[in-house]
Structure 1
Amino acid sequence: MEYFNVRVYGLLLNDNDELLISDEQEYGMRFTKFPGGGLELGEGLIDGLKREFMEECNVEIEVVSHFYTTDFVVKSAFNNSQIISVYYLVRNITPVNLTIKTIPFDFDGEGEILQAFRWVPMTTLSIADFEFPTDKRVVELLLNEL
């Protein structure tokens, strides 16, 4: 590994105890993750998370609390970096007006980079739904703590 890649993600639950997740297709791969992404140089974690939610979801959020930071070594699936991911519990302060899908990877349109969102009930949330080791760990913690 050649460098660190800092990522920040938000865990957004709605009033029905459903968690917002993102199905994505990029780099020839399909994967499910939480809304969020890479920190930009000169950007703080919370500002980066707010930016990512605006870019991906067109939703303003506020951070409720820190939930988890990567505590084991994770190599990126996309490059030669070591991933450090920080997860926050968040709440939306503007309405969530996304097209919500019910089927995984039900993308609208075609292209190299695709994204679709789903609300997943906490009662059916599964580690097997996620590709990346840190997200799997977060789901495990969510299921144990929430």
Structure 2
Amino acid sequence: MYQFNVRVYGLLINEQNQVLISDEQEYGMQFTKFPGGGLEYGEGLIEGLKREFVEECNVEVEVISHFYTTDFFVRSAFNDSQIISVYYLVKSLSPLNLMFKTVQFDFDGEGEILQSFRWVDLAKLSEEDVTFPTDKHVVKLLINNI
């Protein structure tokens, strides 16, 4: 039986026209993506996105609008499931209290699961700034909408 893996991500753009991205290390891999993650059983998309932002960024967000839903086949980089990703434009309801990095994969500490955050200027954003195929497609859409 084929499994579906539903993911939900937030595009958080600040007043300097920068988008928040997450550098992560997990499963022996390093990757860069937008904040968010897997939907848990029983959760709605927006509820899952809000939970992910609290877990990852310690901030509550408000969903502004739907931005994109995967419309092509994507196989998970971690297993044989099919990935369906939903992206929303979001705004934070309070200031982000994170240590922002300027260098990719600049993690504090050690361990199996690591994460750091960077702001990337939308004017300089490129597909090479993210790892996964759906995020690359979303970057193209963001660039075309600037």
**Corresponding residue for residue 109 of structure 1:** 109
How far did 1:61 drift?
0.3
How far did 1:141 drift?
0.2
* 1:85 equivalent in alignment to 2:74: no
TM value normalised by structure 1? 0.98
- Amino acid of the structure 2 residue aligned with 1:85: S
In structure 2, how many angstroms separate the alpha carbons of the residues matched to 1:131 and 1:21?
11
**Corresponding residue for residue 55 of structure 1:** 55
How far did 1:94 drift?
1.4
How far did 1:2 drift?
2.0
* Equivalence map 1:2-21=2 (5 Å): 2-21=2-21
TM value normalised by structure 2? 0.98
In structure 2, how many angstroms separate the alpha carbons of the residues matched to 1:47 and 1:21?
20
In structure 2, how many angstroms separate the alpha carbons of the residues matched to 1:16 and 1:96?
14
Aligned residue pairs total 146
* 1:126 equivalent in alignment to 2:126: yes
Output the aligned Cα RMSD: 0.8
Q: 1:62-121 CA deviation, whole Å, 9 max, x = no partner? A: 000000000000000001100000000000011111110000000000111100000111
In structure 2, how many angstroms separate the alpha carbons of the residues matched to 1:38 and 1:9?
9
How far did 1:54 drift?
0.0
Runs of 4+ in 1 over 3 A off after TM superposition: none
**Corresponding residue for residue 23 of structure 1:** 23
Identity over aligned residues, as a percent?
73
**Corresponding residue for residue 145 of structure 1:** 145
In structure 1, how many angstroms separate the alpha carbons of the residues matched to 2:123 and 2:110?
32
3-state SS in 1 of match to 2:120: strand
In structure 2, how many angstroms separate the alpha carbons of the residues matched to 1:98 and 1:11?
16
How far did 1:129 drift?
1.4
In structure 2, how many angstroms separate the alpha carbons of the residues matched to 1:40 and 1:101?
29
Unaligned runs of 5+ in 1: none
**Corresponding residue for residue 34 of structure 2:** 34
3-state SS in 1 of match to 2:8: strand
